[in-house]
Chain A
Amino acid sequence: MANIGYQHIVCDPVECIGCRLCEYACSATKHGRFDGTLSRIRVVRIEPITMTAISCRLCEDAPCILACPVKALSRSEQNGIILVDEDLCDGCGWCVEACEFGAIVLNPESNNAEICDLCSDLPEGPACVRFCPRDALSVATPEVLRQQARRDVVARLLEELQ
């Protein structure tokens, strides 16, 4: 099978309105309560109008896996998500530091790293995507994003020609 990269959650910063419903939906789904600080997707806003949501990007050669001193992190062969071995993870936080996107959160109660798993156990897919009111969030591979960007650029060209 051709390697087209792993799917991850993508946020369109043009559509994102900064509402943080994705954070609420994530923490409610994973922990049964509303708590943005436990959310595996976080919204960032730089005043006044720059905003987007960030979660695990399933990097190739993921720095978090390399950084983990106790080998608690591994990649799922099935869909590429980063798996956290709850027994091994001791909450040291090296993965948090290694992640260039700030996409890993430490749960102070369980003392475990938490990383977006695309809600792979849910038939309806990722909760954040379902709850995003502006359809700013989607699940996509890097190749699909590249294809979309190319289509957009050509569509704009077409508009200008017409």
Chain B
Amino acid sequence: MYAYTGKILHVDMGSRTTSVQQVDADYLKKYIGGVGLATRLAWENVKPGCDPLGPDNALCFACSAFAGTTFPVGTKHGVASKSPLTGLIGDSLSGSHFSEELRRAGWDGLVFKGRAPEWVIVFIDDDEVTFIDASPYLGMGCVETQIAIREKLGDENVRVTSIGPAGENLVRYAMMDNDGRQIGRTGNGAVMGSKRIKAIAMRGSQPIRVADIDGVLQETHKLIERSKGPGTLKYRSLGTPANVLSMQKLGVLPTRNFSETVFEHAEKVSGEYMAEHYTVKKVGCSGCSIGCEQWALVKEGKYKGAIAGVDYEPLFALGPNCGIGEMPAIIRLVQACDDLGMDAMSGGVVVSWAMECYERGVLTKEDLDGIEPHFGNDEAALALLEKIAHRQGIGDLLAEGVKRASAKVGQGSEHFAMHSKGLELPGYDVRSLKTFAMGLAVGTRGACHNRSLAYELDVKGVVDRFTVDHERGRLAKEKEDFACILDCMVICKFLRNCFDAFEEDVARIYTLVTGIPMTAEEIAAVGERVCNLKKAFNIREGWKKADDWLPGRALEDPVPSGPAKGAVITAEELRMEIDDYYAARGWTPEGLIPKAKLIELGLDDVAEAIGVEPEAAPQPALSAEEAR
């Protein structure tokens, strides 16, 4: 076995003890790495039914199979735990250089359990683990912490993943940051904070050996050359902010808390405008051949000096969705979320929800500590983000996310609390993206575009985005499985259009790197296996069929204007799509997984734990012809 180390490091924060788990090639081949391996480690180590912010939750890391090699964009790492935001699987991915360092320190994965009595920095120096007093670093922003720790350890090759004030204060959507890239969604930063880990510092000195070095160099060079072509042009030129005008044109750009789908100031917050006036640098993660990170700098005005890597999702959430149409304000708000250590997507949607509450009189100026967050008020948005990160005043309520906050506030605010399973929605209005709408509703980590990928079907016109049919369940399942393979390998999604025959190419390179035999069929099975494992985790945590759903606004309020005017996805349409999706997955009509399905996927122990008996097996899905 090459590249892999076959070792998982377990750290008990309560007793400050460590242990080493050996894993073999069969095990690694089933879950690969990234989200797959991290989810498997979470399945094994999270105590069922535990408090996500208690000592029985486990924070699990896993490398990419290709970490530290010339495989382009193949060096993300995955993190999984029980999410404090959703109470279900919280799997997340991040770029940067952490995955390589973890592998070079000799580990395929890391598991943190328990809770430290005092705040610490965990320093993993190859196989030596030390705990450093974190009190000098408390309250520091994410990147500031990383720089300070590298200085303290006297080695700039040390890679650090850290939390900011939001993680320390257990904001349910707190994130972890490494070199300006984030484990962003589902609140893994709060889980890290609950264990009183301010940062994990990592230094590895071991080389990464692959099975066939010449073969790896040849194949990866080919991929790098290809990634200079049209398949990645969007990401290399404007980056993801190119989406602003694309989404505006389709009438799916979430505006003012998803109430509208076109934004009057879209031009001024577009990727094109940003590139011309604000972008000063493009940055890539380790091994990245694309460099999608668009670093934007404010050169004048009240936010002079603000600088942030601006992606579409934070841009939509803190810009149009908060009614904010000025790029300098958006850059400052993204920077605030990154420094404070909170998911800018959830943060933005929480602020937009508070803005709508204020405009409707559901929350008053008094409720909001004197802040008046009408839509478009960037100073109010910034003030709210600060309060959230420190759980001060109204920030304590908003730090809970829109699901919990709206349940507490009531007065109809649940209708426009834009989340699924507690995870705030991404930047695509689903009322005229009907395949994607279902993809978000059934997502195991809640409403996530990256896990679903079904928006591609709607946006690219593979299907009619304004209608539904019985094909959508199967199509969404296939997209989700494909996304999952990328998340396990890990291969950045921005490389997805650069393969000839995806499964064949990936299987061949995986074998050249690891020496483990792999076929295209086996690669394909990984996606389905891990999707089922994530669902199984959720079932074990008490998932209910009603959790697979969308907020009232998406189902009842027709789009008021623009190219998608009048569009709405009805409860009947969504129900039908979800039923078809369950059938396509081979699940029961109740969305449970038959034992036989899990055994077929090689998940025997999971079948034993949560599989249902065959009498509940589903009816075969209608074929496309029958459906017509």
Contact = CB atoms under 8 A, between A and B. Distances in A.
A17 B282 contact: yes
A33 B209 contact: yes
Contacts of A48: 143, 180, 295, 307, 309
Nearest to A42: B157
B208 A33 contact: yes
Contact of B228 (A18, A31, A133): A133
Contacts of A37: 157, 205
B337 to A, nearest CB: 15
B213 A130 contact: no
Contacts of B209: 33-34
Interface string A5-27: 00000000000011111001101
Nearest to B72: A133
Nearest to B335: A48
Nearest to A124: B221
Contacts of B210: 33-34
Contact of B291 (A19, A32, A34, A47): A19
B308 to A, nearest CB: 8
A34 B227 CA distance: 21
A48 to B, nearest CB: 6
A103 interface: no
Contacts, number: 91
The number of chain B residues touching the other chain, given as a range, is 35 or more
B180 A47 contact: yes
Interface string B199-215: 00000011111100100
B221 A19 contact: no
Interface string A34-55: 1111100000010111010000
A151 interface: no
Contacts of A131: 70, 221, 224
B283 A18 contact: yes
Contacts of A45: 179
Interface residues of A, number: 27
B68 interface: yes
A134 interface: yes
A145 B206 CA distance: 37
Nearest to B309: A48
A17 B291 contact: yes
A21 B207 contact: no
Nearest to B225: A133
Given A33-B213, A34-B69, A35-B208, A133 B290 contact: yes
Contacts of B291: 17, 19, 133-134
B289 interface: yes
Contact of A21 (B157, B224, B283): B224
A24 B221 contact: no
A125 to B, nearest CB: 13
A25 B70 contact: yes
Contact of A130 (B221, B227, B295): B221
A89 interface: no
B216 to A, nearest CB: 8
A47 B284 contact: no
A139 interface: no
Contacts of A67: none
A49 to B, nearest CB: 4
Nearest to B280: A49
Contacts of A47: 143, 146-147, 179-180
Interface string A125-160: 000001101100000000000000000000000000
B524 interface: no
Interface in B284-316: 284-291, 293, 295, 307, 309
A8 B70 CA distance: 23
A24 B207 contact: no
A134 to B, nearest CB: 6
Contacts of B286: 19-20
B281 interface: yes
B287 A24 contact: yes
Contact of B283 (A24, A38, A49): A49
7 contacts: A19-B289, A21-B72, A33-B210, A34-B69, A34-B210, A49-B295, A133-B227
The 3 closest A-B pairs by CB, nearest first: A133-B289, A17-B291, A35-B207
